[in-house]
Structure 1
Amino acid sequence: MSTEAYIETPLGIATISGDKDGITSVSVTKETTIIPSTMIPPYLQDTVVQLREYFEGDRTHFDLTLNPSGTDFQKKVWDELLKIPFGKTVSYLDIAKRLGDPKSIRAAASANGKNPLWIIIPCHRVIGSDGSLTGYAGGLWRKKWLLAHENPVKQQSLF
């Protein structure tokens, strides 16, 4: 039986779902009436800790048991997304090429958009071939925030 927890993040309330077999989903909501959980179910405690560390700038890699639902192709795409290093980006075409078929770019982009594990499977690190911040289910402002958060070169103020 899947359990849920709600945590506050700089980008909104995140809903975390999972069970003894692993984390099944992490999503961010625009809903403003959800109250963060005061009690975190045991299966979700590591995820909550690691997400908090990520947002505090203390974590660049997640070490969790993942159990997302999806087709075999979607899971292959998500496995490729997990290989994108922190602070780096790749294009949808790069993902399709890594899967062995550059013509699968639309299918790869679709699978990317159906990623059920927000941030943990880093779909925000996939951009257009021209460097543009293309579609992001959580809103482009969140994608921009996440990429800036992960950028190893922080802009310094001149004043």
Structure 2
Amino acid sequence: MESAFIHTPLGIAKLEGDEMGLASVTLWDEEIKTTTPIPEVLEDAVYQLQEYFNDQRQVFSLTLNPEGTDFQKRVWSELLKVPYGKTISYLELSQKLGDVKAVRAVAAANGKNPLWIIVPCHRVIGSDGSLTGYAGGLHRKKWLLNHESPAKQQSLF
């Protein structure tokens, strides 16, 4: 498994993967030296993430190989269908998976997503429109949703 650390507007991202695909993208709060050169198996993922942050990419085209249970992988696969700039509630997501009673299990699987941004778990919100739970912190979830919004909000302060 190869790894690389890159700067993003939200902190340092660690990418891990091999010839089977990208296994994880996680965010680190501490300052870590970026990786140079980037391992060949991660070059495309790094390039696509840079495009995303530069408003040049809305859909990722990568081979993914995350570790998880079959249920988690079903949830993550459904998350990939949530379009850029759109959100879905945990209830809607569980309905799409065919079990409205699985809301808590869906939320737990969402929280275990190892592919930050690539599998857009930040696009899942509460049924009332609230920003609920995000492993990377609600400030990052808010930033990502604003980044993807067609009408970006300006900060007054």
Q: TM-score, normalised by structure 2?
A: 0.97
Number of the residue aligned with 2:152: 154
Q: C-alpha offsets along residues 125-148 of structure 1, whole Å, 9 cap, x if unaligned?
A: 000000000000000000000000
**Correspondent of 1:78 among 76, 79, 99:** 76
Q: C-alpha offsets along residues 35-87 of structure 1, whole Å, 9 cap, x if unaligned?
A: 01121001000000000000001000000000000000000000010000000
Whether contact under 8 Å (2:132, 2:138) holds in the other structure is yes
Q: Structure 2: which 5+ runs fail to align?
A: none
**Offset of residue 155 of structure 1:** 3.7
Q: Structure 1: which 5+ runs fail to align?
A: none
Q: C-alpha offsets along residues 6-61 of structure 1, whole Å, 9 cap, x if unaligned?
A: 000000000000000000000111112x1011210010000000000000010000
Matches within 5 A, 1:10-29: 10-29=9-28
**Root-mean-square deviation (Å):** 1.3
Which 4+ stretches in 1 moved above 6 angstroms? none
Q: Name the SS of the counterpart of 2:23 in structure 1.
A: strand
Number of the residue aligned with 1:62: 60
Matches within 5 A, 1:1-159: 2-32=1-31, 34-155=32-153
Aligned partner of 2:13: which letter? Answer: A
Aligned partner of 1:60: which letter? Answer: Q
* Rounded Cα–Cα distance in structure 1 between residues aligned with 2:56 and 2:29: 25
* Number of corresponding residues: 156
**Offset of residue 156 of structure 1:** 6.5
Q: TM-score, normalised by structure 1?
A: 0.96
Q: Percentage identity across aligned positions? A: 65
